[in-house]
Amino acid sequence: MRAKAVDSFRRRLPSEQGWLYDVIDSPGTVHASDPALRPNQLFAYGLPYAPLRGTGPGPVHAVARTLLTPLGLRTLSPADPWYRGVHRGDPASRDQAYHQGTVWPWLIGPYADAATAVGLPTDGLLDGLLAHLGEWVVGSVSETADGDAPHGATGCPFQAWSVAETLRVYQRDRR
């Protein structure tokens, strides 16, 4: 069953753009496939039994080139028409930006796993996050940041999953 699922995944998910579809249509639906470049695809490469583990670095490299920032990964490519580079304003404005380009520091962990799995370097990957440890609250990493430079921190200043993934990658790379 695993081999069948992996084969189906490898046939259906790659897009013409060189990365994985974020959403694909299901048989019998009218929904179009969504080729937006998003970080979700990193799990298909970085998890221990991921369906694309051990394959070429193309999509992970595309994520690195486009979504990687010093504080984590953007949730959408700046080239996408739906991209929102600032996670600021009233609650409705922040909610609209949440998954449309906002940086999530915790995604540094899945990126590090995927990059390592496909042979991409991770040297200096944590430099921006380690510098961030003293910016908002000493010893903590914020929940989110603006997608646009200079990637100002936003959201909760004490975010456990952001700290946890930074520490996990830091400890992994020190072994």
Does 28 map to a domain?
A: no
CA nearest neighbour of 152 among 79, 92, 69: 69
Helices (H), the chain: 2-12, 43-46, 58-66, 91-97, 108-118, 127-132, 160-174
Does 148 map to a domain?
A: yes
How many structural domains is the chain composed of?
1
In this prediction, residue 76 carries a pLDDT of 96
In this prediction, residue 49 carries a pLDDT of 92
Task: Please tell me the distance from the alpha carbon of residue 131 to that of residue 164, in angstroms, as a whole number.
Answer: 16
Does 19 map to a domain?
A: no
Q: Is the pTM of this model over 0.85?
A: yes
What does the pLDDT average to over 121-126? 96
Does 46 map to a domain?
A: yes
Provide the residue type at 32 as one letter. A
Does 20 map to a domain?
A: no
Instruction: Report the percent of the chain where pLDDT is more than 70.
Output: 96
Min mean pLDDT across 18-27, 47-56, 61-70, 98-107 is at 18-27
In this prediction, residue 81 carries a pLDDT of 94
Does 133 map to a domain?
A: yes
Instruction: Report the percent of the chain where pLDDT is more than 90.
Output: 69
In this prediction, residue 152 carries a pLDDT of 93
Residues 6+ apart with CB under 8 A from 108: 72, 73, 125, 126, 129, 165, 166, 169
- Computed on alpha carbons and rounded to an integer, the radius of gyration of the chain in Å comes to 17
What does the pLDDT average to over 95-106? 94
Does 7 map to a domain?
A: no
Residues 75 and 39: beta-carbon distance below 8 Å:
yes
The pLDDT confidence band at residue 130, using thresholds 50, 70 and 90, is very high
Residues 55 and 49: beta-carbon distance below 8 Å:
no
- pLDDT at position 124 over 60: yes
Does 102 map to a domain?
A: yes
Domain membership of residue 65 as a residue range: 37-174
- pLDDT at position 28 over 80: no
* Residue whose tokens read 């915790």: 106
CA nearest neighbour of 120 among 21, 48, 49, 42: 42
